[in-house]
Amino acid sequence: MDETPATPVVTIGLNSGQATFDYSMEELKALVEANHMTVVEQVQQALTKPNPGTYFGTGKVEELATIVADDGVDTVVVNDELTPSQIRNLENGTKARIIDRTGLILEIFANRAQSREAKLQVQLAMLQYQLPRLHTSASQRLDQQGGAGGLANRGSGESQTEMSRRTIERSINHVNHELKEINQAAETQRAQRERNELPSVALVGYTNAGKSTIMNALVQRFGKNEDKQVFVKNMLFATLDTSVRQLIFPDQKKLLLSDTVGFVSQLPTNLVKAFRSTLSEAANADLLIQVVDYADPNRDAMMQTTEDTLQEIGVTDVPMITVFNKADLTDAEYPSRAGDQLIVSAKDDASIDMLVQVMKEKVFHNYVTANFLIPFAAGDVVAYFNDHANVLSTDYQADGTAMRVELPSADFNKYKRYVVTDADAAED
């Protein structure tokens, strides 16, 4: 089946001497491709700061208009967030549709959102983005879409804009109300998981770093329902919805693993705010695993973006390990470990083994190993240990079942009346 051809676009950006300019333009190209578009030409201008009216200087806008006409494209994508007047003036000057970086990311999110929560979060961010960008023609379209009908004829363009503003503000209130109800349900689920005393681990990091691939490798080997794989595709923002899976290791240790939405530089503030509830899995985690594309030459900038975004959503004091993924695309030796940093390939079993070892070190540090002598009348305790703890040895004796068990400190405290000392166990 033939796919719809990608929309050709021209990308533009201002180089004010920032060290990350080339990287940001590469990233813009990847974002464009993630939105089913293709870059036919890139235009840049060296300016200390954007022209307040047209972003580019006047001569460069004229040059851009010629390029748009010659290339036969009708869309220009800008590597910054523009003011409403800059968008209008560039549209008038180039006769092309202008999409700024924020608008592009919002479009991608709108196309990818699957769950009710993700769709509402994107809708909220888009409404907040549209609110300061209202002008007469847009207001007329909004009035028609909102069923305002004859009301639009009551006044001038200014009154139409005000009515459109009220329409958007009502929509924002409605979406916020719906999200609040969803968030309350999610909090209830999270509280239930916490009552079950399962530690939680969250995968965070740049979009397309391989978080979902790592999650699938772990779920396939240790998942309670190993068929519950998460979506993986080699493109930006393949995953928008947080997925939570329970892992059970051979020694009966259990944890919850979540895969969160990926980050990208200059992620729109409204979008970060809208997805704060989704990212709360990271805020409430016992351990963060930052996944980094080790093969990407811009990985340092990507790690800085992840750190900045985590700070922006208030995740500042959760322990974190860094996993440099995709080592199979480099000359690096893997798997290898230096402290809390790992070099791995998500496709390599030995890499997953090392990651699991480090995860267990970090989240199961409160485990206790002890000797128990359990009376035969308390057979339910023996059954509980066999199902929920790491039983190192079992010996059936005259006065009960002797077990050496590794278990959480909470369970140790619950059953410590059956604890015997090492000396007692040795005498038996």
Per-residue three-class SS string for 250-309:
CCCCEEEEEECCCECCCCCHHHHHHCCCCCHHHHCCCEEEEEEECCCCCHHHHHHHHHHH
Same domain, 337 and 214: yes
Both tokens of 263, joined, read 């980050």
Same domain, 381 and 359: no
Max Cα distance, the chain (Å): 96
Please state the length of the chain: 428
Both tokens of 375, joined, read 């009376």
Tens-of-pLDDT digits for all 428 residues of the chain?
446 889 999 999 999 988 889 989 998 998 999 899 999 999 999 999 999 999 999 999 999 999 999 999 999 999 999 998 999 999 999 999 999 999 998 888 888 777 788 788 888 888 988 888 775 444 444 444 444 444 444 445 557 778 888 999 999 999 989 988 887 776 776 666 555 568 899 999 888 889 989 999 999 999 876 555 554 455 566 555 667 889 999 998 989 998 877 788 877 777 776 666 656 678 888 999 999 999 999 899 889 988 988 888 788 889 999 999 999 999 999 999 999 999 999 999 999 999 999 999 999 988 999 999 999 999 999 999 998 899 999 999 999 999 999 998 889 999 999 999 865 555 54
In a domain, 32, yes or no: yes
Displacement of CA 96 from its chain's centroid (Å): 32
For residues 284-320, one letter each, b for 16 or more C-beta atoms within 10 angstroms of the residue's C-beta and e for the rest, the string is bbbbbbbbbbbbbebbebbbebbeebbeebebeeeeb
Both tokens of 371, joined, read 């000797």
Between the alpha carbon of residue 42 and those of residues 11, 50, 61, 77, 121, the distances in Å are 5, 17, 13, 10, 32
Same domain, 224 and 350: yes
Same domain, 418 and 351: no
| Cis bond upstream, residue 50 (ω within 30) | no
For residues 373-388, one letter each, b for 16 or more C-beta atoms within 10 angstroms of the residue's C-beta and e for the rest, the string is bbeeebeebbebbeeb
CATH number of the domain to which 423 belongs: 3.30.70
Q: Could you tell me the pTM of the whole model?
A: 0.76
Domain with 307, as residue range(s), is 198-363
In sequence order, the 6+-apart residues with CB closer than 8 A to the CB of 198 are 246, 254, 255, 256
pLDDT given for residue 60 in this prediction: 95
Please say which residue of 363, 389, 414 terminates a domain: 363
For residues 407-424, one letter each, b for 16 or more C-beta atoms within 10 angstroms of the residue's C-beta and e for the rest, the string is bbeebbeebeebebeeee
Same domain, 18 and 52: yes
SS3 344: coil
Same domain, 343 and 376: no
In sequence order, the 6+-apart residues with CB closer than 8 A to the CB of 28 are 11, 13, 77, 79, 101, 104
Q: How many structural domains comprise the chain? A: 3
Please say which residue of 73, 99, 125 terminates a domain: 99
- Please calculate the CA angle 172-175-180 and round it to the nearest 5 degrees: 120
The CA distance from 101 to 49, in Å, is: 17
The CA distance from 246 to 396, in Å, is: 33
In order, the DSSP letters of 65-131 are HHHHHHHT--EEEESSPPPHHHHHHHHHHHSSEEE-HHHHHHHHHHHH--SHHHHHHHHHHHHHHHG
Same domain, 392 and 351: no
Same domain, 267 and 354: yes
CATH number of the domain to which 246 belongs: 3.40.50.300
Between the alpha carbon of residue 43 and those of residues 15, 66, 396, the distances in Å are 10, 12, 79
- Please calculate the CA angle 153-159-165 and round it to the nearest 5 degrees: 115
In a domain, 105, yes or no: no
320 DSSP β-pair partners: 288
Other C-beta atoms lying within 10 Å of the C-beta of residue 15:
15
Same domain, 393 and 333: no
Same domain, 335 and 204: yes
Same domain, 326 and 206: yes
410 DSSP β-pair partners: none
Same domain, 395 and 351: no
In a domain, 29, yes or no: yes
230: nearest Cα among 206, 256, 204, 258: 258
